[in-house]
Structure 1
């Protein structure tokens, strides 16, 4: 194996346990270059949540950040920003927000933390008002797993009706309490092309899954991705997680391997349309699923995600830190993209094959 393949293998083995690394053949190198050239990085409101809820940052400022850093869009929860959030804007303000995003060449993806009909209806109104065709959802039902799955299935069927009626896409996130194969089973059962999945880099840990098997279980449906770093925290017979800087020594995720596998999803066209920078430093998430649970475990109710003020930080230092941590994540991801592209170019050079700049896109802008 050449030194180039050794370097690529080392990157793919990082925090990946015993997973054998792929061999970067010339054919794969060409596909990888095409995907890297078209990768669509989005800003995410959660990375600046303290600033949005308690500081001077407004949703419109996130648009300027995304444009300034040459990102392709913004993922924003309808409640981010409290009284300044999308949920509090009137129709004229929503249209103006969407118009500003279009002026900057940015796509908007809406997020909510439920699948209940009234909240979904409001999110649809917001999405249509700002010109978005993508809504992230996840469920927060309490009860036996079988009961929760039945309720989610009914909700997904309602989403399918709205998706067809309003030309929308709904992406269901694996959000700590459901396992990836359970979400995949629901999506297969409903079987609607506009209902897919959002893959988060850490949430599978709380469902007592491992990162790469979880990714592969959900792979046929993944359209969006939340990028972040986490430290795995054992809790009883399960695991929780603590938010850390992505790519730092504390980050327990096989980040480069997951990013590579997600990039390569889709045969002719890239399957993932958005990789969102959701740095969640100091976020605390408890274990939800246990290794010794029965076939139909009880799923407890979960509150919406929030990051409290950690010990040792003041409100001002937390808000300043969020800006720094987001810049850190963007630098890390762009460094990873450069490294992967260089390795792919070297593989092609080693095989004496010319490299041309790709025009492939990471899926159609939504």
Structure 2
């Protein structure tokens, strides 16, 4: 194996135990280059959650950040920013926000933490006012898994109606309590082209899954991705996770391999339309699913995600650090993109280099 192949394999083997990396052939290198050239990186509101919650930043600042750093869009929860949030704006302000995004050449993807009808209807109204066509959802029901699945299926049917009525796309996120194959089962059952999935880099940990098998289970439906770093925290018969800087020594995820697999989804065109920079440093999430659970386990209610002030931080230091952590993640991802692009370019250069003919003995002077 060449030095280039060794470097490519070493990159994709990071924290990817038992997963053999592909061979970077010239054909694969061409496809990888095309996908890297067309990648769509988005800023995500959660990275500045403390700033948004306490008014140090507003959703407008996230648009400015994405424009300054030449990103392709913004993922924003409708509640991010409190009274400054999209939920707190009137339609005139929402329309102005949508215009600013379009002036910057940014796509706006909305997010809500619910599949309840009132929340869906509000999200649709915000989408129509801002000009957004993408809404992320996830459910937070309590009960036996079979009951929860039935309630979500009913909600997804209503979401499908909204999608058809308003020309919108909805992506259901795996959010710590459901396993990836369960979400895939729901999406297959509904079978609607405007209803797909959002894959989060770390949320499968809390459902007692491993990252790469979870990705494969959801692969046919993944349209959006939340990028993050996670430390896996064993908790009894399950696992929780703790947010760390993506790509750091504390990050237990096979991040480069997951990124590669997601980037390459889709035969003729990229399947993933948004890779969102959702750095969640110090976010803590408990185990939800256990290895010894019943066939129809009880799913506890979960609150919306939040990051408590970690030890050693004041409110001011946390708000300052969030900006640095966001810049850190962007630098890491662009470094990973550069490394993959360079390896693909080296493989293509090696393939296109004409073979030098061996000198014949009689030709030697």
TM-score band by shorter chain is over 0.9
Match of 1:363 in 2: none
Q: What's 2:43 paired with?
A: 43
Any residues of structure 2 matched to 1:331-342 within 5 Å, and which? 331-342=331-342
How many Å separate the matches in 2 of 1:353 and 1:271?
32
Q: Which residue of 1 aligns with 2:3?
A: 3
Task: Show the counterpart of 2:170.
Answer: 170
Larger Rg: 2
Cα contact 1:231–1:242 (8 A) shared by 2: yes
- Inter-partner Cα distance in structure 2 for 1:195 and 1:23: 33
What's the secondary structure of 1:197's corresponding residue? strand
1:244 equivalent in structure 2: 244
CA distance in 1, matches of 2:97, 2:353: 46
Cα pair 1:55 1:319 within 8 Å, conserved? no
Superposed CA offset, 1:266-319 (max 9, x none): 000000000000000000000000000011000000000000100110001100
SS in 2 for 1:87: coil
Match of 2:94 in 1: 94
Which residue is equivalent to 1:192? 192
Q: In structure 2, what is the Cα distance between the partners aligned to 1:153 and 1:200?
A: 21
Structure 2: gaps of 5 or more residues: 355-365
SS of 1:105's equivalent in the other structure is coil
Instruction: Determine if the alignment matches structure 1 residue 112 to structure 2 residue 128.
Output: no
| Deviations, residues 124-145 of structure 1 (Å, cap 9, x unaligned) | 0001100000000000000000
SS of 1:243's partner is strand
1:324 maps to 2:324 = yes
List aligned pairs for 1:274-313, cutoff 5 A.
274-313=274-313
Partners of 1:92 and 1:6 in 2: how far apart? 55
The alignment of Structure 1 onto Structure 2 pairs a total of residues equal to 354
Residues 200-242 of structure 1 deviation map (CA, whole Å, 9 limit, x = unaligned) = 0000000000000000000000000000000000001000000
Instruction: Work out the CA distance in 1 between the residues paired with 2:91 and 2:78.
Output: 14
User: TM-score, normalization: structure 1?
Assistant: 0.96
C-alpha displacement of 1:352: 1.0
| Runs of 4 or more above 2 Å deviation | none
Partners of 2:41 and 2:191 lie apart in 1 by 28
Alpha-carbon separation, structure 2, partners of 1:4 and 1:152: 47
Higher relative contact order (CA 8 A, sep 6+): 1
Match of 1:314 in 2: 314
- Counterpart contact for 1:171–1:196, Cα < 8 Å: yes
Shift of 1:353: 6.8
| Counterparts of 1:313 and 1:298, CA distance in 2 | 36
Q: CA deviation at 1:18?
A: 1.2
CA–CA separation in structure 2 for the residues paired with 1:173 and 1:56: 28
Q: For 1:347 and 1:153, how far apart are their aligned partners in 2?
A: 46
Q: Which moved more, 1:344-353 or 1:149-158?
A: 344-353
Q: For residues 16-35 of structure 1, what are the structure 2 equivalents within 5 Å?
A: 16-35=16-35
Structure 1 match to 2:273: 273
Give the superposition deviation at 1:40.
Answer: 0.1
Counterpart-to-counterpart distance in 1, 2:154 and 2:207: 22
